[in-house]
Amino acid sequence: MTVRRLSLAALVLILLAVGVLALFQRQIGTRVLERIADSQVGRDTVATLPDGLNVALCGTGSPMPDPTRAGPCSAVMVGGKVFLIDSGEGSARNLSRMGIPAGRIEAIFLTHFHSDHIDGLGPVLMQRWIGGTYTRPTPLFGPEGVEAVVDGFNTAYALDATYRSAHHGPALAPPSGRGATASTFSAVAAAGPAGLVVYRADGLVVTAFTVDHGPVHPSVGYRFDYAGRSAVFSGDTVASARLTTMARGADLLIHEALQPSLLGAVERRLDERDLPHLAQIMRDIVNYHATPEQAADTAREAGVDALVLNHLVPPQPLDYGYAAFLGDARKHYDGPITVGEDGMLFSLPRGADTIVRKRLF
């Protein structure tokens, strides 16, 4: 009898709670959204970072659909400035979610011109321009060919820019600051034994070096050095002695990774569903990407302190699958290996040898 009374009382309370939620849905919804705005609007993670080299993952995905990942994009934050490496689809939204103001972007570095590495540039360039009320375009660094990318985006967004200047006024949207300007460097020079320094300011040195992503030429990676700390970004590449040389002694290696054993399952399903052209693409892409095991070999041979995998192929929407994605990588390298996720932050403080990992969302 007592149990029945308790059950009835619990049911009444549940019904009352549901009724209250329904009755005050508008007020409760407004308050929840206000709380979200309080915590997110105007958030500036960059201002809270320690002095040193700070690396955030604003996109760890690939052209294949993954609801948990934006297209390839990494951010290096130094001295209050933000430097992007590539800008795949969705990267602007992730930067906002992480509290990395686009208005702080100092420059963007492209590894190559595959669509998935540049298709997020439009929103990033627009938000950087408006967010910082810049009077000069965003410097966009890359090897030969970056001029065509810049011209294309500037043309595609030209009308959008006139609308924004007309609506908000030239003080908030200075017409001279829209879009990007090409900062072209020589791929031949970047193929030299020490790479090519393409940026140097306020203690930060950025070195470009060629990698092997054939038939995509030119294709480069980047090394960032600051305050005795270093991070290397592979770009898209097969296993490469060149990358190993340029990553020598780095604190952090951010390396692309494709797991053929898992991609094979995608290929077989496409064949079974009579989509041979798409299945052939799955077979083709294996020969110009590195496996997790090969990335681990590079990390070991270069003597880096930690390895982070990004540009994950095939998609990895569940962390339960990471063991399958990694394969035997942990047998090839005994340092820490992280399967990259959007929103991750790795801080390399000045005067230390630690790497502090956090989540920004």
Name the residue among 238, 210, 240, 241 with its Cα closest to residue 223: 210
Q: Could you give the CA distance from residue 274 to residue 337 in angstroms, rounded to a whole number?
A: 37
CA distances from 347 to 26, 91, 142, 352 (A): 41, 20, 26, 11
Give me the catalytic one of 38, 44, 51, 116. Answer: 116
Catalytic residue check, 116: yes
The secondary element (H helix, E strand) that includes residue 223 is strand 220-226
User: How many CA atoms are closer than 13 Å to the CA of 322, on its beta-carbon side?
Assistant: 12
Q: Of 326, 267, 323, which Cα lies nearest the Cα of 292? A: 326
Instruction: Supply the DSSP string of 8-55, one letter for each residue.
Output: HHHHHHHHHHHHHHHHTHHHHHHHHHHHHHHHHTT--SGGGPPSEEEE
CA-to-CA distance for 192 and 195, rounded, in angstroms? 5
Rounded-to-integer distance, Cα 271 and Cα 137, Å: 46
> Using CA atoms, how far apart are residues 54 and 201, in angstroms rounded to an integer?
16
Please tell me the chain's helix, strand, coil percentages from 3-state DSSP, rounded to the nearest 5: 40, 25, 35
As annotated, the active-site residues are: 116
